[in-house]
Structure 1
Amino acid sequence: MSIKNFESTHTCGQHGANADNSRASRKFIASQIQIVLKARQDLRVVDIKNDMLSNFGIKINYSKAWYESMVHATNTGSRVVIDADDRRFRRLFISYNACIEGFIAGCRPLLFLDGTFIKDRYKSILLSATGYDGNQGIFPFAYYVCDQENEVNWKWFLQGLWTLLYDRKNPYQPSHRLVMISDADKGIRAAVEEFFPDAFHSRCALHLVENFKKKMKDFGHKANVATTLGELLQSVAYKFTISE
């Protein structure tokens, strides 16, 4: 097989009709601008687009450079931290300024810590810190996306929470001692002890009851007995006095 004809007009990539449609992924773009963002906190979307064009000859879609800039533009004071290793995403911490100020000004000194699976192709983990407002409503405070729920990631997350509350001009000073509620996972326990040593660390009643029921079954009790005992324990957990 040999080349017989030379076609000088290209219709692919940045040379033809697709020139404005970037082949660069969001991951690649993020890896290229991460170092620049650390040095230039005021980096604009247009700056990112121009840098990608001049450095790599890539015309990126506006939306790919939009997210972090819009977070800071619409919620000045928000905290967005992207951690990458060798150009690979590792973890993301995010808390909107409206949530930070709302928690400090209008929520009880109470934070629920929990983790759950993100049902996507990357099988990520979402860690969250949630408050409780004066209307008995759930109040989102901060989120953290990572690869697994372990002590290292819980410490990274709680260090971020500590920064939001105390590394500020007017540090968080609630009228009552801060209470943090979790399933008492060993990673959470270690993180709370390190970054919030003065806070009460309480067990989530729902997790406690489920673990209790499982233990009852392990001890040989029938399922209906374990369920009844669990219901009694849950009832006790919501009483306010010893006599009740």
Structure 2
Amino acid sequence: MVNDGHDSNWVYNKIEIQSGQLFHDKKHLQHAVKKWFFMGKKPFKVVIYNPTTYDVKCLSPGCPWRVHGYLPKGENNFLASNIVGHSCKLSETVVKRRNMTAKFVATVMYGEIVKKTCISLFQIMLAISNRASYEISYDMAWRAKQKDANGDRVLRCAFWSFGCMIEAFKHCRPVLCVDGTFLTRLYKGQLLTCIGVDANDKVVPIAFAFVEFENAESWLWFFSLIKRAVVCERPNVCVLHDRHKGIL
């Protein structure tokens, strides 16, 4: 994965994306594509954008440049493939700011803004100019700083189970039903739930968690906390689920 400055799992020395590179998710792939384009001063447009595919191409007429990324079936990480090189020259391209967004600036400047909350907007504008040779507006610098200052990438997951729920499970049947659902309002992500059943066949809420994605990593984390906080040393507890690929 191309290093985004704060949470990459795969790091390559080159800025260019290479065929076969893995990315934690589509957002990391998008950031890598933008970073590559801004360094080369060659604008691009998105051809395909959906939950499992991200495909972009160069805006210069006749240039075959293309990056195709997709989520392989049964996998959790995006894979870059079909990387075609540029045939256009820098002088033939028109550098536009259509791909420069406040979100991208916030990602690039994340470390500096979080560590130095007093950083001025002019310093952000100058930093982007030095790194990517692009001029951004005062307004865009302000919106980028607000995104990072609000800490919208700090809380990635949260687990909770109240004492009354933990105590209730001691008197329930040794069965746990787990499932995940989408969050559709202001905050996106997944809500993982764990439900028990008492002797009267009544539903008893046991534990909940907010996660970014419903995958093997998030389910393993959720199950480990249920084991530690709720199940403890109770043996032979059966888990019922919907056969989500992250659990299997």
- Higher RCO, 1 or 2 (CA under 8 Å, sep at least 6)? 2
TM-score bucket (shorter structure): 0.3 to 0.5
TM score, norm. by length of structure 1: 0.38
Q: TM-score by structure 2 length?
A: 0.37
Structure of higher CA gyration radius: 1
